[in-house]
Amino acid sequence: MIEKISESVSRYIVGLRDLLKLLNVPLLSRGHILLEGPPGVGKTMTTKFFAQSIGGTFKRVQMVPDLLPSDIIGTYYFDMENSVWTLRRGPIFSNVLLIDELNRAPPRTQAAFLEAMQERSVTIEGETLTLPEPFLVLATQMPSGGEGTFTLTSVQVDRFAYYYPLTYPSQKEEVDIVSRVDSIEAANITPVVSAEDVLKVQDDVTKVYVSDKVKEYIVSLVNFVRGQKEVLLGPSPRASIWLYKGSRALAYMEGRGFVLPDHVKEISKYVLLKRIMLKPEYEVEGLTSMDIVNRALESVEVPKV
């Protein structure tokens, strides 16, 4: 299944090999992913092609400042013809939801995703409705602090299992993009796997074995980050959960029945990076969240399994 999706998307995406691999991890582990980068680096196109390669329902929401929560989750309206109140379901009722430029919407609208991403349900007029399975959110955002953006709250960021920062392509990659732009823009991706296939593989991933030593290693990494003097707000227990689930997905993608510490290392920056808030005085000195993640990986003893 993974090979089919990767082959379908990679025909039209130049570079971004790490991202194409990572996008499979939230799909397999029932998580969600946030991509951040400057305009025009392929955030939307990559996530759109990936979403289109998966069967089921696919919806896209372009976030703007005047969008309301009801535009996302839906609302009841009065059907004049039948004289009844009828539910109009919003785009969140889909298997794969692409949220483009999430931080262009105000916090009130951003909050519409909180219940859905955590509990896979939404509440409309006091009625709780279950979302379809599988349910995957692929979100993009502009760099924080950009014109017309609203910074995501730490609560919103924590709902995303994984985070991937994009930068500009290399010169060689950009030449390749220019050379292939006509075929890329005309691309029409058709689903290569069904929603039922995804659900089956998601269940298979939960059977990948994780030893107690690896679990302790995961928690030790998270606790090390929390204990650093430069950290104002450290990763929550969700970080440990997604290190656990993400490493299982990576092991499954490699055809292994058990998780190695290397799988935890590989997924760690995508899980921890956006969950670390540094104290302002250290940020001014040039310290980054990646520095803290690298320090944790170098300092915490790796178990032998």
- DSSP symbols for 89-123: E-TTSSSEEEEETGGGS-HHHHGGGHHHHHHSEEE
pLDDT of residue 145: 67
Give the CATH number, domain containing residue 285.
Answer: 1.10.8.80
Residues 152 and 232 in one domain: no
Cα 264 from Cα 245, distance rounded (Å): 10
Residues 228 and 159 in one domain: no
Q: How far apart are CA 178 and CA 151, in angstroms?
A: 32
Q: Which residues contact 179 (CB under 8 A, 6 or more apart)?
A: none
Alpha helix (H) ranges present in 188-279?
A: 195-205, 212-226, 237-253, 261-272
- What tokens does 73 get? 């989750």
CA 153/CA 176 separation, integer angstroms: 37
- Least confident window among 74-83, 226-235, 272-281: 74-83
What's the pLDDT score for residue 146?
67
pLDDT of residue 182: 82
Q: For a pLDDT cut of 70, what percent of the chain falls above it?
A: 99
227 with 157, same domain: the answer is: no
| Within a domain: 101 | yes
User: Tokens standing for 215?
Assistant: 């679990």
- Percent of the chain topping pLDDT 90: 61
Question: Taking the mean position of all CA atoms in its chain, how far away is CA 284?
Answer: 28
In this predicted structure, what is the pLDDT of residue 47? 86
Q: What's the CA gap between 39 and 142, in Å, rounded?
A: 7
Of 85 and 247, the one with more pLDDT: 247
Residue 269 burial (CB count, 10 A): 19
211 and 165 in a common domain: no
User: pLDDT grade, residue 186 (50/70/90)?
Assistant: confident
pLDDT score of 188 more than 80: no
**37/171 same-domain check:** yes
Task: Count structural domains, the chain.
Answer: 2
CATH number, domain with residue 90: 3.40.50.300
Q: Are residues 16 and 109 in the same domain?
A: yes
- Same domain, residue pair 180 and 218: no
Decide if 157 contacts 107 (C-beta within 8 A): no
* End-to-end CA, the chain: 28
Distance CA 136, CA 57 (A): 11
Question: Please, what's the largest Cα pairwise distance for the chain?
Answer: 69
Same domain (yes/no): 35, 172: yes
- Considering 140, 155, 185, which residue would you say is the last residue of a domain? 185
CB within 8 A of 84, min separation 6: which ones? 78
**Residue 16: both structure tokens together:** 């971004």
CA–CA separation, 3 vs 272, rounded Å? 27
Alpha carbons 193 and 190: distance in angstroms, whole number: 9
Per the structure, the complete domain to which residue 211 belongs is given by: 207-299
Q: DSSP readout, 81-97?
A: TTTEEEEEE-TTSSSEE
H-helix or E-strand spanning residue 124: strand 121-124
| Model pLDDT for residues 7-57, shown as the tens digit of each residue | 778 777 888 888 989 999 999 999 999 999 888 888 888 888 888 888 888
For 220-267, the pLDDT digits (tens) are 999 999 999 999 999 999 999 999 999 999 999 999 999 999 999 999
In 10 A of CB 270, how many CB atoms?
A: 25
State mean pLDDT over 166-195. 84
Domain-located, residue 56 = yes
